[in-house]
Structures are given as C-alpha cells and as structure tokens.
Amino acid sequence: MMAAKKIKKRAAAGFNPYPMELSPVFREKIWAGRALSRIYSGARPYKTGEALFAPDTGGEGSVILNGAHKGRDFIQLVRRHGAAMLGRGMAAAHNGVFPVLVKVIDCGEKLSVQVHPDDKAAKKAGLKSGKTEFWYILGAEKKSWLLLGFKRRISSGEAAKLAEAGFITAVLKRCNTKKGEGYFVPAGTVHSLGPSNLVLEIQQNSDVTYRLYDWGREKSSPDRRPDIASAIGAVKAITAGRRIAAAKKKGTFIRSMASCEFFRVKEAVLKKGGVIQMDKTPPLMVFAAEAGASLLWQGGNMALKKGAVVFVPAAPGRFSIKSRTGTRLIITELR
C-alpha cells in the first residue's frame, strides 16, 4: 500500500503541463442560428446554439486535442493535477473545480430575459456557485441588440408584476451591439441577447439561470416556463453591468476589458507579423477570435484556428503569440 502511494506521488510530481487545446461541447437551442456550423465541425445549423469549453457542471466535458495528454478528459486532468495546472493556491481555493467556462453563443433569435444569482444566493439555494459573466461581441448586424440591467431603480414587487404580465423588457436598458464591444454582466443583472449576435461568453463555471420572460415561447414549450420567484430573489436593483467600446487603436496591443474577483479579460490585437510575449502568468484561457496566430512555448508550438480555445497552465515559462496575417485573441486570466 505504501509503495503504491509513493508511485502515485512520483507520477503526480512528474506531471508537466503545457498549453492544451480543448474540444467544444455542443448544446442545441431553440434560438440557434447557423454561425457555429461555419466555425466548428460537428455543429448543426439552426440547431447548435452554444459551444462550451471546459464545462465543469456534470455531463459531457472537453477533451484535450494536442500533446502528451491528447484524448484525455480535461476536467478529470484538472481534478488529478490541479496544483500543477492552476497553481497550488488557486487549486486549493476552488477545491478541484475548474473556475471558468468559455462559451460561444450563436443567437439566431432572441434569448430569454434572465438573471443569474451571485455566490451567496446560489449557495443558499444549495448550488456550488453563482454566475458572473462577460460578453465579447464576435459578430453583429446593423440592428442587433441586447438588454442589460434596469433603466431605473425598481422594487422586487414591481419587477415581479412586470415579469408576470410580460412587460419586464419595458424597464430594461437596450444597447445596439457592434463587433469588438464587450459587456460586463455581474450576477444579479437582468439581461437578454437579441438576434443576429455571435457572442463569446466568459463566465463562472455554473449552469444556473432563472428566466423572467421568454417572448411567448413558454406557451408552446412548458420546459421554458419562467421561474419568476427564484429570478426576483436573485435580482439586484442596481448592478455594475457596463459596456466596453470596441477598440479604435491600430497596430499590435493588449487592452484590459473587464476585471472582477473571478476572472480578468483582455483583448489582444496583432497586426501582420506582430508578436506578444508573456511570462509568469496565472493560468489562462486563450480564444482565437480570428485565425492567423501561433502560440509558441518552450518545447512546442500551435497554430490557432478561428474559434480555438487553449488552456495555458500557470507559470509555464515564457511563451509568445505571433501573427502571420493579423488577428484578435481574447485572453482570460483565471482567479
């Protein structure tokens, strides 16, 4: 028994993490468009509404697509080697749970008006965590829009009455969306994505959603009925939801778009031939909004296809991103 334990410890000590490309997990949605089918093999037009990377909510998970651990379940690897992949402090703080979920959402039609609880409300309901999120607009048409937060302070009683009557959208802020914008959506913020938006979502690794209104779809789909009581309990009258304008700067640069206790999101824009070098970073999730870049580290390199998601472990040593044609990446620091 002692010998087996020693062998297991030596195996764990010899684990060498490296940048890992992750496979998408597809989810079919009633509101799906066809954009994901143009990016990911296996996604179905007007059926696949979401592509998830590193879901840690039960069910199917992402598989590693490259390197020594190709074919292995990513979350199971995190469970076993969390200290090496995330750093000891972060692994202990999250108790084996991978903290961030990356999702690409294809809005063929408008999504339900909904809200997510914060950690306190979620744990009170017996859930592991709440859900704060960030949206990056990958694509939008001229009349694309979203709803984010209340226009004015509102009581829970008034919000409940408006939701029950189907008029909750009348008191929500409407924003016209543009490619390259960001939106920070803290837990407790009522929101909805409108049609013809392709969105990258960075979020706490949680599935919890409470609907307030579903544009009449609940009449023909009982499983989409609103849960107004739970939603109102999660709603915050005043939240810090905000819009981050698309970058106007030219050339190669990195800018911070959103930062909270759960993650920090940066946009990296590289001109043709541009290079970004990084060293001693926390664990990262790198999303390729466009093709044309390569990730290079000691011992390996990887071309990043459009839509690719790569986990970069904590402190892998210096690595760099090089652009062959000009590209954009969204880099998320885990916390």
Catalytic (active-site) positions:
211
CB distance 69 to 80 below 8 Å: no
CA nearest to 277, candidates 252, 299, 309, 250: 252
CA separation (Å) from 227 to 110, 206, 221, 237? 18, 18, 14, 18
Tokens of 214: 């579903």
CB distance 272 to 294 below 8 Å: no
Q: Is the dihedral of CA 4, 96, 258, 207 positive or negative?
A: positive
Tokens of 118: 């914060």
DSSP per position, 292-327:
-EEEEETTEEEEE-TT-EEEE-SS-S-EEEEESS-E
- Per the document, the length of the chain is 335
Tokens of 204: 């706490």
In angstroms, the CA 186 to CA 203 distance is 10
CA nearest to 116, candidates 108, 106, 125: 125
Residue type, 28: E
CA nearest to 100, candidates 145, 64, 132: 132
